[in-house]
């Protein structure tokens, strides 16, 4: 990230010791289920939902005084791979639709570990705002989810992150998603594929509320409840 | 750090202080919640020793509904008590005595007096129902709730004789810069400071959370000391900005002079608080040792010309921030330990014998 005012022809600059200043980064990492059970309507809805959510985040970022939202994305099926590996300014993200492979499984634990790999003390900027981790799945992890989650929560960025889980359909395992979710934030559930866009829109609004000065997690939870028609698991 | 030829064994210090309301605070129509103080006040205009400086950052979370006032109280009393301690440190001959004075006298005095000042403040200006409601408290708050409302960090530096004594509670940056530009962190790192939470004067075990540091400038010459709230450090793009800051400060001091540095500190702080930087309230106090032979070099100045410049054409924080509804800022909340092992330090009955001309320069701002 180039510091401001690096144009040597700009004579309106002032000298600032310390290597230059910049807005504070806020990392937003999406972990999306690419297992075969997502094939068809669910995956189409998810791709549409993410593509709809990103402009909302762009709008929110533009309204801020000090934030630069940086997006990464992970697809997990028989393994976890980066769909967007480089932290990309949200305004620059052009969402490439995810696709499901035949017979692909749900290695959600691997996705946790991949997220953990970029949230360690040496990878996350000291000045970074609280990261947001969004997990979207319709199934049950087919690998060692608990170990992956433990690895994620062992990182400074993973433990401090706002972690939001979205369950699609009735087959997602509540216990796993609740364990991933931030304490006090209910797992969001879409019973039908057409509810996914509304849920992710609510997530993007909640991310903004989360970062408001003098707001707290209570405001986030309230935001999620009032903005969506989802029924949190009891 | 290297021994610097000609460095005075008992340096005098010139102090520069600057503050700026964060762009986020401006947009949200929130007041400046940092505070700073310098004692004696004349150190802002001419060299002197001993000198005491204090910087505080009132917590931004809604629960800390009077944190700006808590920060003001903290820096004022830290400066007053620090001057008393400094008169003792001036003649100290061993580092152990300095450390004990900071740990057993100054820190307990500050923590105790701050709590007393908060209670007096509440008595003089009772907490209102709207304040309690905004903080999410009931109409019958506990004494702890009220103390919590004033939560703030505190960084203090005492420059006396050959000694630099430091104490820090909570986040913020406290660094020393040697004449060659190398940087040291005199106060130990606290792993509990995760960027979201901070230790605080309002917590029951505040005294146990204070961190200390002492530097003997005869053995380790120090050209400058920086105390800053996190709105200053969080503006810098590099993780290791302190090292670059030290190198740049040495170069600027060598090539443009200490007066130039002192004059430009407000500009730097404004940039840090702006929407181009942290957007948070930023406060920085620099102590510059007079008689320092700064060891800058021209090569680094050229590097600076392409690497360490910011646009001055950006509106300064507080001037014209758009009135946006939603903003982003770390939500600092004081740590609330599960145990309440409150320490009752001995009453050292320190009388702040501060003569009128030595009254601390204290920063106050209205909402």
The 10s digit of each residue's pLDDT in B121-147 is: 999 999 999 999 999 899 999 999 999
- Residue with the bigger pLDDT between A90 and B2: it is A90
- Cα atoms found within 13 Å of the Cα of residue B341, Cβ hemisphere only: 6
* Numbers of helices and strands, H then E, in chain B: 10, 14
Q: Which of B137, B237, B254, B315 to mutate to test the interface with A (most CBs of A within 10 A)?
A: B237
Give the three-state DSSP class for B1.
Answer: coil
What is the reported pTM? 0.80
Average of per-residue pLDDT values in chain B: 82
List the single residue in A with minimal CA-CA distance to B23: A65
Least confident stretch, B13-22, B193-202, B282-291:
B193-202
DSSP H or E stretch at residue A176? helix A174-180
Contact indicator for B113, B345 with CB cutoff of 8 Å: no
Residue B2: is its pLDDT beyond 80? no
Q: Do A160 and B306 touch (CB under 8 A)?
A: no
Which residues on chain B are in Cβ contact (under 8 Å) with A127?
A: 195, 233-236, 239, 278
Extract the residue ranges of chain A whose pLDDT is less than 50: 1-12, 212-234
DSSP string, B152-198: B-EEEEEEETTEEEEEEESSSEEEEE-TTS-EE--S---TT--SSEE
Torsion of the alpha carbons at A80, A84, A89 and A91, rounded to the nearest 10: -120
Q: Do B306 and A8 touch (CB under 8 A)?
A: yes
Which of B 45-84 lie inside 8 A of A, CB atoms?
Answer: 60-62
In the block, which residue shows the tokens 């999306």? Answer: A32
List the single residue in B with minimal CA-CA distance to A157: B194
Summarize the confidence of residues B220-237 as an average pLDDT. Answer: 96
Quote the DSSP letter at residue A170.
Answer: T
**Helices B241-256 and B298-307, packing angle to 10 deg:** 120
Rounded Cα distance, B132 and B183, in Å:
43
List the single residue in A with minimal CA-CA distance to B25: A213
Sequence length of chain A is: 234
Interval B259-295: pLDDT, tens: 999 999 999 999 999 999 999 999 999 999 999 999 9
* Numbers of helices and strands, H then E, in chain A: 7, 7
Q: Do B308 and A127 touch (CB under 8 A)?
A: no
Q: How confident is the model at residue B354 (pLDDT cuts 50, 70, 90)?
A: very low
Which phi and psi angles does B324 have, rounded to 5°?
-80, 155
- Cα atoms found within 13 Å of the Cα of residue A60, Cβ hemisphere only: 27
Q: How confident is the model at residue B187 (pLDDT cuts 50, 70, 90)?
A: very high
Residue B311: is its pLDDT beyond 70? no
pLDDT for residue A210? 59
In this structure, are strands B13-20 and B34-39 parallel, antiparallel, or unpaired?
Answer: unpaired
Distance from CA of B103 to the nearest CA of A (A): 29
Give the three-state DSSP class for A137.
Answer: strand
The rounded percent of chain B whose pLDDT value lies above 90 is: 68
In the block, which residue shows the tokens 């008590």? Answer: B81
Contact indicator for A96, A73 with CB cutoff of 8 Å: no
Distance from CA of B235 to the nearest CA of A (A): 5
- Residue with the bigger pLDDT between B9 and B336: it is B9
Cα dist from A154 to A6, A107, A187, B153, whole Å: 38, 19, 21, 27
Give the three-state DSSP class for B56.
Answer: strand
Contact indicator for B249, B181 with CB cutoff of 8 Å: yes
DSSP string, A81-123: EEEEEEEEEGGG--PPPP-PPTT----HHHHHHHHHHTSSTTT
Quote the DSSP letter at residue A9.
Answer: T
Q: Do A66 and B326 touch (CB under 8 A)?
A: no
Contact indicator for B332, B61 with CB cutoff of 8 Å: yes
Quote the DSSP letter at residue A172.
Answer: S
Residue B234: is its pLDDT beyond 50? yes
pLDDT for residue B322? 28
Burial of B251 (0-12, 13-18, 19+ CB in 10 A): buried
Q: How confident is the model at residue B306 (pLDDT cuts 50, 70, 90)?
A: very low
Give the count of beta carbons closer than 10 Å to the beta carbon of residue A217: 15
Q: Which of B242, B328, B266, B247 minimizes the C-alpha distance to B21?
A: B266
Q: Do B307 and A63 touch (CB under 8 A)?
A: no
Q: Where does B200-356 have alpha helices with state H?
A: 230-233, 241-256, 258-273, 298-307
Q: Is B267 an interface residue toward A (CB < 8 Å)?
A: yes
Contact indicator for A54, A94 with CB cutoff of 8 Å: no
Give the count of beta carbons closer than 10 Å to the beta carbon of residue A40: 11
Q: Do A129 and B328 touch (CB under 8 A)?
A: yes
Query: Which of B196, B235, B333 comes nearest A130 by C-beta?
Result: B196
Contact indicator for B227, A12 with CB cutoff of 8 Å: no
Which of B 13-42 lie inside 8 A of A, CB atoms?
Answer: 22-28, 30
Estimate to the nearest angstrom the gap between the alpha carbon of B241 and the chain centroid.
17
Contact indicator for B308, A18 with CB cutoff of 8 Å: yes
pLDDT for residue A139? 84
pLDDT for residue B315? 30
Which residues on chain B are in Cβ contact (under 8 Å) with A156?
A: 194
In this structure, are strands A13-15 and B309-311 parallel, antiparallel, or unpaired?
Answer: antiparallel
Q: Do A18 and B248 touch (CB under 8 A)?
A: yes
Maximum separation of any 2 CA atoms in chain A, in Å: 62
Residue B246: is its pLDDT beyond 70? yes
Q: Is B324 an interface residue toward A (CB < 8 Å)?
A: yes
Q: Using a CB cutoff of 8 Å and minimum separation of 24, what contacts does B91-100 make?
A: B91/B161, B92/B160, B92/B161, B92/B163, B95/B163, B95/B214, B95/B216, B98/B163, B98/B165, B98/B214, B99/B165, B99/B212, B99/B214
Compute the count of residue pairs across chains A and B with CB atoms less than 8 Å apart.
191
CA-angle at A82, arms to A77 and A88, nearest 5°: 145
Interface of A with B (CB under 8 A): 1, 3-6, 8, 10, 12-24, 26, 60, 63-67, 125-130, 156, 160, 208-209, 211-216, 218
Contact indicator for A74, A32 with CB cutoff of 8 Å: yes
Which residues on chain B are in Cβ contact (under 8 Å) with A65?
A: 22-24, 26-27, 275, 279, 321, 324, 327-328
For residue A118, give every residue at least 6 positions away whose Cβ sits within 8 Å of its Cβ, in sequence order, or none. A27, A29, A72, A124, A157
Summarize the confidence of residues B40-46 as an average pLDDT. Answer: 91
Q: Which of B20, B22, B328 to mutate to test the interface with A (most CBs of A within 10 A)?
A: B328
Which residues on chain B are in Cβ contact (under 8 Å) with A216?
A: 61-62, 331, 333
């Amino acid at each position: 990230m180039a510091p401001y005012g690096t144009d040597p022809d700009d004579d309106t600059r002032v000298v600032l010791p310390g290597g230059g200043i910049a807005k504070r980064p806020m990392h937003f990492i999406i972990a999306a289920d690419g297992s075969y059970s997502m094939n068809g309507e669910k995956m189409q809805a998810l791709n549409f939902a993410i593509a709809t959510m990103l402009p909302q985040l762009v709008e929110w970022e533009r309204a801020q005084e000090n934030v630069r939202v940086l997006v990464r994305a992970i697809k997990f099926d028989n393994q976890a791979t980066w769909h967007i590996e480089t932290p990309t300014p949200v305004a620059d993200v052009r969402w490439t639709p995810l696709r499901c492979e035949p017979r692909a499984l749900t290695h959600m634990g691997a996705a946790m570990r991949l997220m953990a790999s970029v949230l360690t003390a040496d990878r996350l900027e000291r000045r970074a705002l609280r990261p947001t981790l969004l997990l979207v799945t319709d199934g049950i992890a087919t690998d060692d989810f608990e170990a992956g989650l433990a690895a994620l929560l062992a990182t400074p960025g993973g433990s401090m992150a706002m972690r939001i889980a979205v369950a699609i359909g009735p087959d997602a395992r509540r216990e796993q998603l609740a364990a991933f979710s931030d304490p006090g934030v209910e797992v969001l559930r879409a019973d039908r594929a057409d509810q996914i866009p509304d849920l992710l829109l609510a997530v993007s609004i909640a991310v903004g509320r989360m970062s408001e000065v003098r707001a707290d997690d209570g405001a986030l939870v309230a935001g999620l409840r009032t903005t969506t028609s989802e029924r949190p698991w009891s | 750090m290297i021994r610097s030829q000609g460095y005075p064994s008992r340096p005098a210090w010139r102090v520069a202080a600057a503050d700026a309301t964060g762009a986020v605070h401006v947009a949200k129509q929130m007041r400046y919640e940092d505070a700073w103080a310098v004692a004696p006040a004349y150190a802002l205009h001419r060299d002197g020793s001993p000198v005491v400086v204090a910087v505080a950052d009132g917590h931004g979370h809604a629960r800390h509904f009077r944190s700006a006032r808590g920060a003001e109280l903290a820096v004022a009393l830290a400066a007053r008590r620090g001057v008393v301690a400094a008169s003792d440190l001036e003649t100290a001959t061993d580092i152990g005595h300095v450390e004990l004075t900071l740990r057993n006298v100054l820190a307990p005095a500050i923590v105790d007096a701050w709590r007393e000042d908060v209670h007096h403040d509440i008595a003089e200006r009772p907490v209102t129902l709207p304040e309690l409601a905004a903080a999410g408290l009931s109409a019958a708050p506990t004494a702890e709730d009220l103390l919590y409302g004033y939560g703030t960090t505190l960084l203090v530096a005492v420059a006396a004789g050959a000694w630099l004594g430091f104490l820090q509670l909570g986040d913020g940056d406290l660094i020393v810069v040697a004449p060659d530009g190398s940087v040291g962190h005199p106060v130990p790192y606290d792993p509990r400071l995760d960027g979201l939470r901070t230790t605080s004067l309002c917590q029951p075990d505040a005294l146990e959370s204070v961190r200390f540091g002492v530097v003997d400038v005869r053995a380790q010459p120090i050209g400058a000391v920086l105390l800053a709230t996190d709105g200053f450090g969080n503006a810098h793009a590099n993780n290791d900005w302190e090292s670059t800051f030290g190198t740049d400060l040495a170069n600027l001091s060598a090539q443009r002079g200490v007066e130039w540095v002192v004059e430009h500190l407000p500009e730097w702080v404004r940039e840090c608080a702006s929407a181009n930087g942290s957007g948070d309230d930023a406060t920085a106090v620099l102590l510059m040792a007079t008689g320092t032979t700064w060891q800058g070099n021209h090569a680094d100045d050229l590097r600076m010309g392409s690497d360490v410049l910011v646009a001055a054409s950006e509106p300064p924080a507080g001037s014209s921030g758009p009135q946006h509804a939603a903003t982003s800022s770390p939500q600092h909340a004081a740590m609330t330990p599960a145990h309440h092992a409150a320490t009752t330090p001995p009453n050292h009955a320190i009388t702040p014998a501060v003569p009128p001309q030595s009254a601390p320069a204290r920063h106050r701002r209205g909402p």
